[in-house]
Structure 1
Amino acid sequence: MDELELERENRIKNLMWTVSGDYALDFKPDLAAFDRSGFVALYDGIKQGAFAKYFDREAFSLYLVKKIYLHGMEAPLMTLAQLCIEFAVSGKIIKEREGVSNIRRRACEDILELDFARLQENLPGRLKLALLQEVLRGRQPATTQMRAWIDRVEGLEHAESTMELIRATDELYNEIADPYFEQKHGTLEQVLAVTLEELAEFSWKDYLNEEELEETLETYLNQVVQNMTNLDMLETVKKEEKPEQTQEKKQVLVVDEKALARMYSYVERNYGKTFLSETEEKRRNRLLCRGIHGDCSLYFTKGILKSSVMRNYQYEYARKQKDKNLYEYYDNHRIVKNNIRILTDMLKKTLAMRAEDEEILSDRGRILPKRLWRIGRSGEARVFERRLWQDKGSFVVDVLIDASGSQRSRQGQVAIQAYILSEALSNVGIAHRVMSFCTFWDYTILHEFRDYDAPRTENSNIFEYVTSSNNRDGLAIKAAGYGLLAREEEHKILIVLSDGRPYDVILNRPNARNPQPYYGEYAIKDTGFEVRKLRSQGICVLGVFAGEERDLAAEKKIFGKDFAYIRDISGFSPVVGRYLMKQLEKDT
Structure 2
Amino acid sequence: EEEGHIDGRRLSQLVSSPTERRLFRQEQYKPAADCVVSFLLDCSGSMKAHIEPVAMMVDIMIRALEMVGVRTELLGFTTGAWNGGRAHREWLARGRPLRPGRLNEVCHMVFKDADRSWRRARTDIAALFKADLFREGIDGEAVDWACNRMLARGEARRILVVISDGSPADGATGLANDPFYLDNHLKDVVARREQQGAVEILGLGVGLDLSPFYRRCLATDMSKALDNELFFDIVQLISGRHRR
Deviation at 1:515, TM superposition (A): 4.9
Instruction: Tell me which of 495, 502, 505 is aligned to 2:161.
Output: 495
Q: How does 1:317-396 map to 2 (within 5 A)?
A: 394-396=34-36
Q: Classify the secondary structure of the residue corresponding to 1:500.
A: coil
Q: Classify the secondary structure of the residue corresponding to 2:73.
A: strand
Q: Which moved further from structure 2: 488-497 or 528-537?
A: 528-537
Which residue in 1 is equivalent to 2:183?
524
1:530-558 CA-partner distances (Å, limit 9, x unpaired): 1122222221111011145xxx3xx2221
Larger radius of gyration: 1
Distance change (3 Å), C-alpha of 1:405 and 1:576? same
Q: How does 1:74-473 map to 2 (within 5 A)?
A: 394-440=34-80, 441=85, 442-460=104-122, 461-465=124-128, 466=130, 467-473=133-139
Distance change (3 Å), C-alpha of 1:420 and 1:481? same
What letter corresponds to residue 135 of structure 2 in structure 1?
S
Aligned 8 A contact 2:50 2:222 in 1: no
Q: Classify the secondary structure of the residue corresponding to 2:211.
A: helix
CA–CA distance in structure 2, aligned partners of residues 492 and 459 of structure 1: 21
What letter corresponds to residue 403 of structure 1 in structure 2?
C
Deviation at 1:391, TM superposition (A): 8.7
Q: Classify the secondary structure of the residue corresponding to 1:399.
A: strand
CA–CA distance in structure 1, aligned partners of residues 212 and 181 of structure 2: 12
Aligned 8 A contact 1:393 1:490 in 2: no
Instruction: Tell me which of 206, 220, 233 is aligned to 1:546.
Output: 206
Distance change (3 Å), C-alpha of 1:393 and 1:462? closer
Q: How high is the sequence identity, in percent, across the aligned residues? A: 24
Greater share of residues in helix: 1
Greater share of residues in strand: 2
Q: Classify the secondary structure of the residue corresponding to 1:506.
A: helix
Which residue in 2 is equivalent to 1:559?
214
Aligned 8 A contact 1:402 1:498 in 2: yes
Residues paired across the two proteins, number:
183
Aligned 8 A contact 2:140 2:187 in 1: yes
CA–CA distance in structure 2, aligned partners of residues 541 and 568 of structure 1: 21
What letter corresponds to residue 152 of structure 2 in structure 1?
A
Which residue in 1 is equivalent to 2:195?
536
Deviation at 1:521, TM superposition (A): 2.9
Aligned 8 A contact 1:400 1:435 in 2: yes
CA–CA distance in structure 2, aligned partners of residues 523 and 573 of structure 1: 30
Distance change (3 Å), C-alpha of 1:464 and 1:574? farther
User: Structure 2 length normalisation: TM-score?
Assistant: 0.66
Q: Classify the secondary structure of the residue corresponding to 2:180.
A: helix
Query: Which consecutive aligned stretches of 4+ in structure 1 deviate over 6 angstroms post-superposition?
Result: none
Deviation at 1:418, TM superposition (A): 1.0
Distance change (3 Å), C-alpha of 1:427 and 1:459? farther
CA–CA distance in structure 2, aligned partners of residues 430 and 392 of structure 1: 9
CA–CA distance in structure 2, aligned partners of residues 547 and 472 of structure 1: 19
Aligned 8 A contact 1:439 1:471 in 2: yes
Structure 2: any 5+ residue segments left out of the alignment? 1-26, 86-103
RMSD between aligned residues: 2.7
Q: Classify the secondary structure of the residue corresponding to 2:155.
A: coil
What letter corresponds to residue 237 of structure 2 in structure 1?
Y
Aligned 8 A contact 1:499 1:545 in 2: yes
Deviation at 1:463, TM superposition (A): 1.9
Select the structure with the greater relative contact order (CA < 8 A; seq sep ≥ 6).
2
Asked if 1:568 corresponds to 2:222, the answer is: yes
Aligned 8 A contact 1:402 1:438 in 2: yes
